[in-house]
Every structure is written in structure tokens, then in C-alpha cells.
Amino acid sequence: MATDTNTSLRHGILSDELREDRQHLIEMLTKAYWMEVETVMSYLANSINPEGVRAQEIIESLEQDIQEELGHARQYGERIKELYGVVPGSTDFQAEQSYLQPPDDQIDVVHVIKGVIEAETGAIEHYNLIIEKTEGVDPVTNDMVISILRDEEGHRRLFEGYLREYEAEGRA
Ligand SMILES: [Fe+2]
Ligand SMILES: [Fe+2]
């Protein structure tokens, strides 16, 4: 017997009607999740390897970023779950950050700075796509990613400043 009450949603990203959008969104969020996880790995290594007096600032900055990127990974994972997706396991992971591998010489801090800028740029580009995709479709994800985007723009800006300093000294 039909009743007025049922448990399926009629509006929003969790509705049956938007199942396909939801699937596509989960794929985009999964990519974002892996970007964050790989960034944690890369920043961890690059917060330990650099040597020299000048490296200290970069090390401390990356140590702080690691915590933020881990928080972003968690937010993406939680949103994937809320959208009825499953956070993937480690065997699904594929590395992409060739530019953030340890440099030949561990005093080469400029290599690390440029690698960080590249990682942040990639994140900013992908997150802008998610924001566009969720506009008017999934305000919760939209809002979450806008706030993460702000963090990444801040990270990128900070490392651009470091690079400027090295360039001004003719070291980059
Ligand atoms: Fe991040
Ligand atoms: Fe970042």
C-alpha cells in the first residue's frame, strides 16, 4: 500500500534521481583523497631529508602542512562515505608526484619548494573542478571543498614567497 512517507530522498545529491552525479562526484573526491594522501607522504619525506641552515624554515612549514593535508584527506574520505561510496584501500594507490621525489642533493631546497608549488597547483586545479561540478547540486561538498581550496591557495602562496626569496638571491 502506498503511503505519503517513504525513506528515499526526493531532493539533493543523496536522491535516486542524482545517482549518476553522485557516482561521478565520488570519483572526483576519491582522486582528491589520493592527492592528499600522496601529499602527506611527499611532505613527510621532504620535511626530514633537507639539510643545511636554510632548510629549517621549509622543514617547519612542511611539518605544519602535513597535519593540514591529513585533515583534508579525512574530510574527503568522510564525504565519500556520506555519499554512499567507500574509501579505497592502499592497493588502489597510484603515485603521481614525480616532482616531489627527493632531490639528488639534500641541500637543494629549491627543488622541494618548486615541488610543493606544483603539488598545490594540481590540488587547486582539481578542487576548482569539484567546486564547479557541485555548484547547485551538492552544497555540502561545495562548501567543504571551498574551505579546503582556501588552505591550498594559502600553502601555494607561502611557498611562492619562499621561492621569490631564493630567486632574489640568485639561488633559484
Ligand atoms: Fe590538502
Ligand atoms: Fe596543501
Query: Residue 5: pLDDT above 70?
Result: no
pLDDT in tens, 29-86: 999 999 999 999 999 999 999 999 989 999 999 999 999 999 999 999 999 999 999 9
Which amino acid belongs to residue 47? S
Q: How far is the CA of 152 from the centre of ligand 2 (A)?
A: 4
Share of the chain above pLDDT 90, in %: 90
Q: What is the DSSP string of 12-68?
A: STTSGGGHHHHHHHHHHHHHHHHHHHHHHHHHHHHTTS--STTHHHHHHHHHHHHHH
Nearest ligand, measured from the Cα of 32: 1
Question: How far apart (Å, rounded) are the C-alpha atoms in residues 14 and 24?
Answer: 13
Nearest ligand, measured from the Cα of 156: 2
Q: How far is the CA of 70 from the centre of ligand 2 (A)?
A: 10
Q: Look at residues 110, 107, 126, 123 and name the one whose alpha carbon lies nearest to residue 156.
A: 123
Q: Is the pTM of this model over 0.85?
A: yes
Q: How far is the CA of 27 from the centre of ligand 2 (A)?
A: 20
Q: How far is the CA of 69 from the centre of ligand 2 (A)?
A: 6
Nearest ligand, measured from the Cα of 153: 2
Instruction: Please report which confidence band the pLDDT of residue 146 belongs to, taking 50, 70 and 90 as the band edges.
Output: very high
Q: How far is the CA of 155 from the centre of ligand 2 (A)?
A: 5
Q: How far is the CA of 148 from the centre of ligand 2 (A)?
A: 8
Question: How far apart (Å, rounded) are the C-alpha atoms in residues 11 and 8?
Answer: 9
Q: What is the arithmetic mean of pLDDT over 116-128? A: 98
pLDDT in tens, 85-100: 999 999 999 999 999 9
Instruction: State phi, psi for 73 to the nearest 5 degrees.
Output: -55, -45
Query: Residue 1: pLDDT above 50?
Result: no
Q: Which residue has the cell 503511503?
A: 3
